[in-house]
Structure 1
Amino acid sequence: MSSRQPRNAALPSPAPARPTALEDPALLRRLLRAKDRMDAASHEAWPVRRLAEVSGVSDAHFARSFKRAFGVPPHRYLLTRRIEQAIALLRDTELDITGIAFATGWESLGTFGRIFRDITDLSPGEMRIAARASRSEPERVPGCVLKAAQRPDLTIAVLEKRRRALDATVEPSTREV
C-alpha cells in the first residue's frame, strides 16, 4: 500500500488572509477615531502608543495600518495638521510667531521654524506676508476646499527632503585620482 495520497484527494485549503486596514471596517473605524482625535487636538503630543490605545490595537499594528489606510505615517499626518493650523493662524490672526508655535503644539520655536521652512519653503514670517498679500476673497470658496488646496505635501519625510536638497547642492568631498 502506498503512503501517497491519490491525485484527486482534496488539498487542505489555505488559511484565510487577514483583511487589511482598507478591507476591515472595524479597524478602519478605529483608525479614523485616532485620526479624529489628532485633528481635534493637534496641539497635543500624539505618540504612536497613545494613538494605538485610542484605536485598541498594538503600536506596530497601528503604525502599519494607519500608513496603509491614509498613505502617510501618523507622525507626518500630525505634522501636516500642525502646519495647516499654523498657516491659518499666520494668515488670519495677529498672534506673534512664538505664540503660534506654542499654540500649534511645538515645544521649541527653533524646531517649529526649521520644520515649517522645510515643508513650506518659507519661514513663518515670510508665509504670513505672502498669505496676506495673496488674499482674494476666500469667503466664496468653502473652507474645506481651501485647506485641501493649501495642505503641505508630506509624502516624504522632512529629513529625506533635506538630504535630497543637500545631495543636489553639495559637491562630493572625495575626488577620484
Structure 2
Amino acid sequence: MPARQNRHAQPFASSLRPTSDDILQDPALLRRLLRTKDRMDAASHESWPVKRLAEVSSVSEAHFARSFKRAFGVPPHRYLLTRRIEQATTLLRDTELSVTDIAFATGWESLGTFGRIFRDITGRSPGAMRIDARTDVRQLDRVPACVLKAAQRPDLTIAVLEKRRRVAKDRFPPSTEEVS
C-alpha cells in the first residue's frame, strides 16, 4: 500500500528555494565578489563604503555584505583594514617614508586613527613595528615575499572595537565597591 502524503508538508516549489550555500555556488556572484575584492586590493587607499562595493558587484548593499562575509570569512571593512595594515607594514619596513606619509598613503584620514588602529591590530605602534621589521630583515631575506606577507597578515577575525573591549576588560578589573 502506498504511503499517505502529508497534507501539511511544504509544497515542492518552496523546497527549491536557494540556501546560503547555493548562493555561494553561483559562479556569476563569486566572479563579481572577486572582482570587487580585486578592486579593493588595487586601490585600498581609497574610500570603499558598502554602497560603492555593492555597485561594483551589481547587487544590493545588504546582499553584498552578507555574500562577501560568507565568501571570504570577514566583512568588507575588516578585509580592507587588513590590506591597509599589510601595506603600511611593508612601507614601514621597506621605505624611509615618515609614519604620517605612510598613514595617508594607505588611506587613513588621520594620523591618530591610523596609529590607534595599527596598535590595536598588530599590538605595536607603527614606529615600534618599523624598528622590529628592520632588525628582522636580514633574517627574512631569503623568505619569498608572498610567504612573508601571509605570515604577517593581521588577524581580524573579530572586530577591532571588540578586540579593544577585551583588552580593556583584562586591564581594568571590575570594581567591587558600591558607588553611591
TM-score between both structures, scaled by the size of structure 1: 0.90
SS of residue in 1 equivalent to 2:24:
coil
Q: In the alignment, does 2:94 pair up with 1:92?
A: yes
- Give 1:94 shift: 0.2
CA RMSD of aligned residues (A): 2.0
Which residue of 1 is the match for residue 71 of structure 2? 69
Which residue of 1 is the match for residue 4 of structure 2? 7
Alpha-carbon deviations, 1:81-105, whole Å to 9, x = none?
0000000000000000000000000
Which residue of 1 is the match for residue 43 of structure 2? 41
Which of the residues 11, 14, 27 maps onto 1:25? 27
- Paired with 1:137 and 1:67, the residues of 2 have a C-alpha distance of 36
- Paired with 1:8 and 1:166, the residues of 2 have a C-alpha distance of 59
- Paired with 2:158 and 2:86, the residues of 1 have a C-alpha distance of 17
- Give 1:9 shift: 8.3
Aligned residue type for 1:13? F
Q: In the alignment, does 2:143 pair up with 1:141?
A: yes
Question: 40-49 or 6-15: which moved more?
Answer: 6-15
- Paired with 2:73 and 2:5, the residues of 1 have a C-alpha distance of 45
Aligned residue type for 1:53? E
Structure 1 residues 114 and 8, CA gap change in structure 2 (3 angstroms): closer
Which residue of 2 is the match for residue 119 of structure 1? 121
Which residue of 2 is the match for residue 170 of structure 1? 172
- Give 1:19 shift: 5.0
Counting matched residue pairs gives 172
Question: 162-171 or 102-111: which moved more?
Answer: 162-171
Query: Structure 2 unaligned runs (5+)?
Result: none
Which residue of 2 is the match for residue 104 of structure 1? 106
Aligned residue type for 2:54? A
SS of residue in 2 equivalent to 1:140:
coil
Aligned residue type for 1:77? Y
- Paired with 1:142 and 1:19, the residues of 2 have a C-alpha distance of 40
Structure 1 residues 9 and 141, CA gap change in structure 2 (3 angstroms): same
Query: Structure 1 unaligned runs (5+)?
Result: 1-5
Alpha-carbon deviations, 1:28-78, whole Å to 9, x = none?
111101100000000000000000000000000000100011000000000
Aligned residue type for 1:116? F
- Paired with 1:148 and 1:45, the residues of 2 have a C-alpha distance of 24
Structure 1 residues 9 and 151, CA gap change in structure 2 (3 angstroms): closer
- Paired with 1:13 and 1:136, the residues of 2 have a C-alpha distance of 65
TM-score between both structures, scaled by the size of structure 2: 0.88
